[in-house]
Amino acid sequence: MIVSQFLVLSAALFALGVYGLLVRRNAVLVLLSIELMLSAVTINLVAFGAFHDDPLFTGSVFALFVITVAAAEVGIGIAIVLMIFRARRSANVDELDLMKW
């Protein structure tokens, strides 16, 4: 089994995620991009876990953690975005500079 294939996939996904994070103006899409980046990390973890033949399945366990954290993150993130949208009728990230100095 060759790790590099998984790594390439993961890197590609991560790059896509970074791109979306930096470029997208809609907060929901920004959150989706973050999910993409987390997925890339998860793929890495699972791949390294399988490759190492770890009796404790550390890689898979961490993958599960990441998935849980990602779900929680999305939950809170979407909730904030919804509140902001309600208050300002917009989910545009550029306009969210309330807390600037």
- Position 2 contacts another protein (CB under 8 A): no
- Position 93 contacts another protein (CB under 8 A): yes
Choice between 27 and 45, CB closer to another protein: 27
- Position 11 contacts another protein (CB under 8 A): no
Q: Return the SS3 of 13.
A: helix
**44: nearest Cα among 14, 7, 19:** 7
- Position 16 contacts another protein (CB under 8 A): no
- Residue 10: CA count within 13 A, CB half-sphere: 16
Choice between 56 and 98, CB closer to another protein: 98
Phi, psi of 31 (to 5 degrees): -60, -40
Residue ranges binding another protein (CB under 8 A): 18, 21-23, 30, 93-94, 96-101
